[in-house]
Amino acid sequence: MARKGRLFVISAPSGAGKTTLIKQVLKKFPEISYSVSHTTRPPRPGETHGKDYFFIHESEFVDMIDADLWLEWARVHGHYYGTSRTFVEEQLENGSILLLDIDVQGAAQIMASGLDPVSVFIMPPSLEELGRRLENRGTDDPRTIARRLKNAKEEIRQKHMFQYVLVNDDLETAFAQLCHIFEKEMETS
Domain boundary assignment for the chain: 6-187
The pLDDT, as a whole number, for residue 1 is: 45
- In the beta sheet, which residues pair with residue 6? 97
The pLDDT-based confidence of 148 (bands split at 50, 70, 90) is confident
Closest by alpha carbon to 7, among 115, 86, 90? 115
Nearest-angstrom CA–CA distance, 101 and 62: 21
CA distance 123 to 62: 31
pLDDT tens string 32-66: 999 999 999 999 889 999 988 999 999 999 999 99
Q: What is the pTM of this model?
A: 0.85
User: Does residue 155 register a pLDDT over 80?
Assistant: yes
- Could you tell me which CATH number the domain at 6-187 has? 3.40.50.300
Confidence of residue 30 (pLDDT cuts 50, 70, 90): very high
User: What is the secondary structure of 120-144 as a DSSP string?
Assistant: EEEEPS-HHHHHHHHHHH--S-HHH
Count the Cβ atoms, other than its own, within 10 Å of residue 184. Answer: 11
Spatial neighbors of 20 by CB under 8 A, at least 6 apart, are 171
Model pLDDT for residues 69-111, shown as the tens digit of each residue = 999 998 877 899 999 998 899 999 999 999 999 889 889 999 9
Confidence of residue 120 (pLDDT cuts 50, 70, 90): very high
